[in-house]
Chains A and B, each alone.
Chain A
Amino acid sequence: MVHAQKPLRKTPQTSQRARAKLSIGTLLTYALCFVMAIITVFPFIWMVLGSLKTAAEAAQYPPTFFPTEVAWSNYVEVFTSTDFLRYIFNSFFVASVVTFVALIFHAMAAYSLARLRFPGRNGLFVIIISTLMVPFSITLIPSFIIVRSLGWFDTYAALIVPAIFNAFGIFLLRQFYLGIPRDLEEAALLDGDTPAGIFWHVALPLSRPILATLAVFFWLANWNNYLWPLIVTQSPEMRVIQVGIASFAGEYSTQWQLIMAGSTIAAIPGLILYIFMQRYLIEGIKLSGLK
């Protein structure tokens, strides 16, 4: 805990006092960080511990900290008592398709807005950006009705198609394309490449890092999505994982060990992405704060 800063040259007494103050500040910093870290992590640890307790132990008061007998069977029961595998598949499938299609569409739209000249471009850009201001609560009911009248209720199309469109991704990619040097495109142009070709051969490969950032972001957002799937699906076969664990918690409201086992499974993809793609995730958030 050595402070790198040189104390100001004053009387020895004040500099000593300043140093003492700093180390108290440092101590306080660590104490606060430690407390907040426990508050942050503990509910998560408690969930995992709870998922490993037997039904009797989970219902016991006062609660035990570590499970006296590790009940992996809870995880088996989650998969046998509901169609949990199907929920996982649905979420995985929907999140992956949405991410893939959204990245292609957004990259195309962003490149068009950043680099291709056509009448009405700026007006269209303003309209697209202004959709960012629209709160989801106003579009919820009409989107549900539109999806229903298209005959998509309780289908993958209802889960996937409306989730693709979001101006945030377009905006970020556009900013990125505005920043790449024109020389690279000029070279391709001189080789006789078409605008679409330049996008495909030059712009898209260059935007790989930001596409990765957005991919992590979109995938996780869709994996974690709850309200929209809750509204547009009905049959158990179409349930996504978040709807699955929430309804599971409703049905087995006192079986905490099973609810926690289901929640732990639902939490795993996010944690894996966080551990391995942390840089991208944090980068994406910083970009979202860009104004």
Chain B
Amino acid sequence: MARIDRAEVERIAELARLELTPAEAERTAAELAAILGYVEQLAALDTDAVEPTSHPLPLPTPLREDRAEPPLDPALALANAPVAEGFAFVVPKVLDEDEG
């Protein structure tokens, strides 16, 4: 399994849309290294023939009738918005950026 350093933490932080100061990144690298060192013990388990569990109890995907139900009132849905206009959430400009 991998070693984790400050550069790796900064790469992950970008994926997670978090900004860390250099000191935070340094400290996080040490903390994650300790946690990943601890979880390394799982490598001792032979799991080649084991199916993964994504859900604790077997359940079929429940389906309901394809019938429209009343949605959340748009005014209520927008009530918590930091910035709203009409029936829309307002965000800063998306263009002029390297990323989406």
Partners in one complex: no
Interface residues of B (CB under 8 A from A): none
